[in-house]
Each structure stands twice: as C-alpha cells, then as structure tokens.
Amino acid sequence: MAVSGLVAQPQISVEFDQYVQEEWTVENGLAVGHINQVYQTPDGYIWLATFNGLIRFDGLRFTLFDVSNTPELPSNRITLLQPGQGNTFWLFTEQRDIMKVENYRFKQYGLFLKIEHQRVLLDGDSLTWVTSENGLRRLLNDSLVTWSFGHLNKNDVTSVFRTKAGELIVSTKPGGLYKTNFPYNKLSLEANFLDTISVENIMEDRDGNIWLYNNHVRKITDKGIVTFDQTNSTTENWSGVSPLYYNLMEDNHGVKWTVTETGFFRLTQSGFELIEEYNHISPENSERQGAGMCKCSDGTVWTVVNKNVYKNGQKQFELNKNGSTIFCDRELSIWITNRINGVQRFSKSLLRTYKSAESDNNFYGVFQDHSGRIWFGEWIQSLFTLDENQQVVKEAMSPKLGVTAAFAEDEKQNLYIGPYRVENPYCKGCYTATRLHGMPNEIFAIHPINDSIIYFGALSGFYRYDGKTTTLIEDGNAIPDFPVRYILETDNSNLWLATNGSGVRNYNYATGQNKYYNTKSGLSSDNVRAVMRDVDGYIWVATEDVGLNRINPKTDEIVWIQKKDGLYDDGLHNLLLDDFNRLWMATNQGVFWVDFEELSAFANGSNEKIRSTVYTERDGMPNREANGGFQNSAMKSKDGNLWFST
C-alpha cells in the first residue's frame, strides 16, 4: 500500500491533479451503452440522452423514461439535451421533436426544427428562446410563439444573445447583426456580412467583445471586425471550404478555445494554434452542437478530443476509448460519453497517494520534523523521505532490527526512530542510527519530555529512557504490561497511554501514580489505538473494535459513540482534528470524518445522531484499508494537510 495525503487544503504543487474514475455500463445499471449527452439539473440529478430513452441518475440508481412508461415521449431516440430555467430542461429526438421536461412533466412542441437549428437560448433567469428554421420562437405562457424584432422578417432571425450590459444581440440569415433593447422595436445594425447563416452562435468575452462562430470565427470590437480562419494542414482536404466551428469558449484566464470538424484549437492574435487534430467518424448531433467542450463553474474549459481530455488546453488524462461528449457537473466532476460503452465520471481526488518503487508500500508511520521534511516508515528496517520533487525515496539506514514506524524529536531536535537515536538526520545519506541501550525492538510510540527524559510505548509495555538507561515502568497493582500504542501528555505531568488490552492508563510521571479506564470502569473496549484531548479537557479514546469513547477526567464519566450512532465504523486507528473542526478517523474500511461540534453535542446528549463523511477507493485511495497501531500512523502537517498510512 501507500501513504495517502488527504489534501482538504492542498499545498503541494504538482503538474496535474489526480482523478478518480468511475464507469457505468450495461453491466452495472445502464439500460444502454450508447450515451448521446449528459446534463445536470440544479437539484443534482444527472440526465442521460440515449437511443433507448431518457435516463435519470441519482448517484446510486438509474431510472429510465421511455415510450413504455412515459407516453408523452414521441420517441426513445433522444439525441440532445439543453438547459432550461431552473430544473427545467429541453430534449430533442432523432425525429426532430422538441420537448420541455419540467418536474417530470413532458411537453411536446412539434416537429418544426432542423438538426442545425436545435438550440435553446436562455435569456437571464426568466426568458427562453428556441431557434427554428422558420425564425425564432419565445416561450410564453408555456407555448412557443414566433417572435419578431422591429422591421426584421420574422423568419430570418437565427439567434439572440443577452450581453452583460443588458442589450440583446440579434443575428439573421442574410448575415446582419443587430442590437436592441426592450421592447425590441428599434434595432441598430452592428455588422453586415456578405455570407449568410454565419452568425448563428454568439459569445461575449470578459472584455465585452462579441464573438460569432459557425462557418467562421469573428470578433467584433469598437475598432471593427476581425475574422479568424484556419490556415494550417487540418484544412488541406476541405477544398477551401471553412469547417464548422462547434463551440467557442473563454477560460478563466481569458484564453479562447474552439472545437471544429477538424480539431481542437487555441485562438491567438495570429489565428488558430492546433492542440490536437480530430480522428473520429462523422460527429453526432450533440457533438455538432458543441458538446465536445464544456465549461466548469470555476471558469476552466474542458475538451475531449479522441482519447485525450484537456483542461484549459493542458492534457489531464487519457481514455481507453475515444470520447464523444463532455460535461462538468456542479461538483466539478467531469462526465465523458463514448459511442460504445456507457459513461465515465472523473472526480478530482481529495486524496493524493505517495508510493515508492523501492518498497512494498506497506507503511505504518508518517512524521514531519522541525524542518518540514516528511518521513515514512514501514514496519521494520525501511525508512523513506519525501524529496523536493514529491517522490518517496529510500534512505540509508544502519539498523538490522527494530521497528521504523515510530518517530519523535526532542527539544534539541534530535530525531528518534523506533529504538534508535538518529545522528545528523538532515545530512542526506550520511546520518547514522544509534541503538538505545536496553530498548526493545517493537516501539509503537515515542514521547520526549525534555532533552534527557523520553518515554516509549512498546509491545512489552511502557519505558523511560534518561539518556543512558532504559527502565520498564511497571504498574504497582500487578496489572500486566500490555502494549502501549499512543502517549498523550496533558496538564500536571499526566501521560495518557493507549494500551492494547488494559484500556487507557493515566500515568503521572511526577508522582508515579497510575489510574486505569477500562471495561470494568465503563470503557467500551480495552483495546485502544489512540487518545486525544479537546479544548474543553475531555479525553477522546479510539478503540480498535467498539467505537469511540469520551472520558471526563473530572468526573470519570464515559460516553460511548458507535456505528449505530452514526460513526462509519467501530474499528478506529487514530484521531485527527483538522482546521475546519472536523474529527478524522482511519479504519480498515476507509477514512472518514465527523463534525466535531455535532459529535460533542451527541456526547452531551443534545444531538440524537451524528453523520460520517467517508473516503474509500472511489475517492482516490488505492485500497480502503488504512494501517494503525502506531502513534505516527496519521498526522496533520504544518500546512494543514492530513496524512494517513496505508
């Protein structure tokens, strides 16, 4: 396995993000493998246009709407989905039907569209326009009515667009481009092109410039009109005919991108810069309507070209089959369809996985020293660090025996790893490790008190090292010396020890007194992996089999919190509180967090249930099984990232 850094606040600079891929086919729920397009309504549902009907996905289940259960549908062969106002959306069939879907009510508006005119144009949050071969239609009182603008022939209007300044741009078949304001009776001619049907698609950039695209790409500014044409080798076989431009988008950096019949391009001041040439068969309707490119809510532009997926022109990953359409949902996950085998979703992983080519990648300890250097330890003999290139590299290590997954630094910045003190630890490749006299091999926890006194939790019990001598701190009550897996220091010289078999041992190193919290005194289990103190002085106890406990040291009251109460799992490895007041716990079934305020309210009796948010393989873990049993099995680094050993 590997060490996974959970980056809720990512600070590590990498060239590309890591993505988690999920795929749905006919083998795991889809009714058909050929998906024409993906769309998401604001209520969160994902909708799929297919030749077998319309499919709704709620994150777990697929629901099919077809002619057998939805008689309003004139055909199952749905080719295109387009946004409507709110949760409304529009669908188009292969037979040129147009339908509006609103609250699962399907309304048909007739067979008056040609393929190249199948577009719905949203104007603010109330107006909806639909293009038609016989002019523009406006949705009015749930009907599509023909609309005219001033002196223009009502059959000539091809498109409208609302600018950020509130003006309405109107384009016509003869090539005219007009501006108008409500009530749309007066129009001013902005441009007149000699070629017809060339201004069907309109886009406004961040500077307020109007862009037109169809047979050409044109930019309209106060200084005039600039026409962009392809002049590279991708048009050699087009006999001088300009290919159609399917989409034109501006990303969050102001860069313009376009997809055409020939390829994927970046617009520059001098023309088109080819990113990748298309290598596909004849495009389908959704692709001709620009569905091979999409824009996320963060302003990034995503494009699928053949097997490659681009974000702002930079390749992110490669598919196993040619993609056809792409969609970005409100969680910034990327959905990609192909013509053969269903739909794939790529979600940015919150977990970044680190692996070493020199290891079996079965790590048990992770530690950050005072310089910020990250150390990784396997069970025995193997030690690794994270280099400046974010690579896990093996370090030279002299010991032949001893666990290397427990770490600590003392006040003089001496580094302790397992039963060793490491000299010159920051001299890369030249440090040495000295075995502490009398210290056992299997060390699980290390806690320095000062320069000379260090406590160790071991398989064989609890030890004190004074710089020369190792002493087993036995309990005067004849309680066996169970393994100590975690050491927490609180006020007044109190050490809280997580033991594997005798619960929580509270040892005061000033007085030598011991106090136990175990199943006899109300603890849910005697097998404890980690302990944590909160700002109110409560001690939280993670058990490896019976959930979470909260101890009140003042009253000795113990509260249990378990899976039946909302915890994801009862076998807990560690406890980490992040910068957002979320308590994280790793288990053999994944990593999860609970809101700490909600958790405390439950322990106080003012909340009946808690909620867990879980991360497993589908979120980026190579395997959901985390490792525990060591104090250093998880940590919060200085930049706020959480690290879990797996």
Q: How far apart are CA 329 and CA 341, in angstroms?
A: 20
Exposure pattern of 516-553 as b/e (b: 16+ CB <10 Å)?
Answer: bbbeeeebbbbbbbbbbbeeeebbbbbbbebbbbbbeb
Question: pLDDT at position 576, please?
Answer: 95
8 Å CB contact between 274 and 263: yes
Q: Which residue has the higher pLDDT, 633 or 122?
A: 633
Q: Which residue has the higher pLDDT, 214 or 2?
A: 214
Question: pLDDT at position 118, please?
Answer: 62
Final residue belonging to a domain, choices 314, 349, 384: 349
Question: pLDDT at position 515, please?
Answer: 93
Final residue belonging to a domain, choices 349, 364, 384: 349
100-146 pLDDT per residue, tens:
899 889 988 876 555 555 677 777 777 787 877 777 788 888 888 88
Percentage with pLDDT > 70 across the chain: 90
What's at 412, amino acid-wise?
A: K
Instruction: Say if residue 196 is in the same domain as residue 47.
Output: yes
Question: pLDDT at position 15, please?
Answer: 34
Question: pLDDT at position 301, please?
Answer: 97
Containing structural domain, residue 102: 19-349
Band (pLDDT 50/70/90 cuts) for residue 16 is very low
Question: pLDDT at position 235, please?
Answer: 56
Instruction: Say if residue 580 is in the same domain as residue 562.
Output: yes
243-267 pLDDT per residue, tens:
788 899 999 999 999 998 888 999 9
Residue 622, pLDDT above cutoff 70 = yes
Instruction: Say if residue 549 is in the same domain as residue 434.
Output: yes
Most confident segment among 242-246, 531-535, 603-607, 626-630? 531-535
Give me the number of domains the chain comprises: 2
Instruction: Say if residue 505 is in the same domain as residue 637.
Output: yes
- Count other Cβ atoms within 10 Å, centred on residue 569: 18
Instruction: Say if residue 558 is in the same domain as residue 423.
Output: yes
Answer whether residue 497 is part of any domain.
yes
Band (pLDDT 50/70/90 cuts) for residue 237 is low
- Count other Cβ atoms within 10 Å, centred on residue 418: 32
Question: pLDDT at position 392, please?
Answer: 85
Q: Write the burial class of residue 605 (CB in 10 Å: 0-12 exposed, 13-18 middle, 19+ buried).
A: exposed
Show Cβ contacts of residue 7 under 8 Å, excluding neighbours closer than 6 positions.
350, 351, 352, 641
Mean pLDDT of 506-524: 94
CATH code assigned at 58: 2.130.10.10
Collapsed DSSP state (helix, strand, coil) of residue 73: coil
Instruction: Say if residue 53 is in the same domain as residue 160.
Output: yes
Band (pLDDT 50/70/90 cuts) for residue 185 is confident
Q: Write the burial class of residue 609 (CB in 10 Å: 0-12 exposed, 13-18 middle, 19+ buried).
A: exposed
Instruction: Say if residue 326 is in the same domain as residue 437.
Output: no
394-424 pLDDT per residue, tens:
887 645 556 788 999 988 888 999 998 887 7
- Count other Cβ atoms within 10 Å, centred on residue 467: 11
Band (pLDDT 50/70/90 cuts) for residue 10 is very low
Question: Which conformational region is residue 452 in: left (phi greater than 0), alpha (psi within -120 to 50 degrees), or beta?
Answer: alpha
Show Cβ contacts of residue 265 under 8 Å, excluding neighbours closer than 6 positions.
230, 257, 258, 259, 272, 273, 274, 275
Instruction: Say if residue 343 is in the same domain as residue 411.
Output: no
The single residue listed with the structure tokens 């990327």 is 334
Band (pLDDT 50/70/90 cuts) for residue 445 is very high
Out of 4-18, 168-182, 332-346, pick the least confident. 4-18
Show Cβ contacts of residue 18 under 8 Å, excluding neighbours closer than 6 positions.
348, 349, 351, 352, 353, 620
Mean pLDDT of 180-188: 84
Instruction: Say if residue 316 is in the same domain as residue 397.
Output: no
Instruction: Say if residue 401 is in the same domain as residue 332.
Output: no
263-292 pLDDT per residue, tens:
899 998 888 899 999 886 677 778 878 889
Instruction: Say if residue 345 is in the same domain as residue 357.
Output: no
Q: Write the burial class of residue 403 (CB in 10 Å: 0-12 exposed, 13-18 middle, 19+ buried).
A: buried
Whole-number average pLDDT of the chain: 85
Answer whether residue 9 is part of any domain.
no
